Amino acid sequence: MPTDRIPIAPLDGVAFCPTPLHRLDRLSAEFDAEIWIKRDDLTGLALGGNKARKLSYLASEARERNCDTLITAGAAQSNHARMTAAVAAMLGFKCHLVLAAPQDQTGNALLDRLFGAEIHWAPGNDWKLLSDEVRRVCDEVLSVGGRPLEIPLGGATPVGCFGYVAAMAEIARQAGDAGIDFSRIIFASGTGGTHAGLLAGRELLGVPAPRLHAVAVAQPDALPKIVASLAERTAAACGSDASWAEEEVFVDARYWGGTYGEATQGGLDAIGLLATLEGILLDPVYSGKAAHGLIEMINSGEIDRSEPVLFLHTGGAPALFSSAFSGVVTAITTEDRDL
């Protein structure tokens, strides 16, 4: 199994695994389809999400390198920032978060402060501005004798990707136990780490299926190259010489809405539908858009209704309680859904 080849062990207690995998009976009945879900919104750490798997390895790296401070960056409603702050609190690290303007004090940003992180607001939401500010904060920590680990956006490093190498093996075991062969896994992709880990994990398992269907929520033109490179470096760290051409990495750019972090009507409709049919909370930035893609592809016939598909729920629900989305979220009604 690929987990035997991962060169670093995750820290126990950071992510609650395995997460449940089960059929969405009411949603399947609604569309006369075969829809399953992998509940990585239930990874436990700080209200859950896919970043817990990555941070279990990244925190292990920080321990091995004798770091005392975690530094990362993200949007004001970054799930990755929230969970980095939580793992720092849990393990006794200091934590600095560089967040993009405009400043927010609700949702994930509220939790960042609750976990004790020191927040540095960048002057805008340009990724270069964030990177420059992260570099400044790192230098400041070093100047006073700190030992920082700088974690890139989304935890998208080979070490972070080990979390989804392991998740791919976990999915294979659970699917085998359930006696089902998924044709594809549908999930949101922003910085590419989850996608790269799944891709490397599938290679290490030695199986061509299921197809990985990444629904872009940011930078769709850049993602194939980013994911191919990251998957190759992740596989190499696990002793594989696998490589991927950019054109071999599939990224679906149809549902992101053209701007990272902004809600789309299709995503909001999907949030309302999963809430009312399954009691499951999605978010407007990531999982809602991926679920919109899933539903739209079933409706259009792109996904055959007899085809067993797995929706990977990567978390993000705290954004529902942010001022950035409070207006659009409260406007969701089942009568208004248009899927």
HEC string of the chain? CHHHHCCCCCCCCCCCCCCCEEECHHHHHHHCCEEEEEEHHHCCHHHCCCHHHHHHHHHHHHHHCCCCEEEEEECCCCHHHHHHHHHHHHHCCEEEEEECCCCCCCCHHHHHHHCCCEEEECCCCCHHHHHHHHHHHHHHHHHCCCCEEECCHHHCCHHHHHHHHHHHHHHHHHHHHHCCCCCEEEEEECCCHHHHHHHHHHHHHCCCCCEEEEEECCCCCCHHHHHHHHHHHHHHHCCCCCCCCHHHCCEECCCCCCCCCCCCHHHHHHHHHHHHHHCCCCCCCCHHHHHHHHHHHHHHCCCCCCCEEEEEECCCHHHHHCCCCHHHHHCCCCCCCCC
Phi–psi pair at 317, nearest 5 degrees: -55, -30
Query: Where in the sequence numbering do the catalytic residues fall?
Result: 78
Integer Cα distance of 187 and 295 in angstroms = 12
Amino acid, single-letter form, for residue 217: V
Instruction: Quickly count: other Cβ atoms within 10 Å of residue 56's Cβ.
Output: 25
Burial of 44 (C-beta count, 10 Å sphere; 0-12/13-18/19+): middle
